Amino acid sequence: MSVIEERERKGIKDELGREASPLPANKSRIELGTEIQTRLIGAPATGGYITFTPAIDEFLKGHLFGDIFGRDNLDFQSREIATISALASMEGVNAQLQSISLWGLILA
**Residue 77 confidence class, pLDDT cut points 50, 70, 90:** confident
Total-model pTM: 0.73
pLDDT in tens, 83-100: 888 888 889 988 888 776
Q: What is the pLDDT of residue 5?
A: 94
Q: Is 96 helix (H, G, I), strand (E, B) or coil?
A: helix
Q: What is the pLDDT of residue 98?
A: 78
Ramachandran angles phi, psi of 64, nearest 5°: -65, -60
Q: How many whole angstroms from its chain centre is CA 75?
A: 10
pLDDT in tens, 19-63: 999 999 999 999 999 999 999 888 999 989 899 999 999 999 999
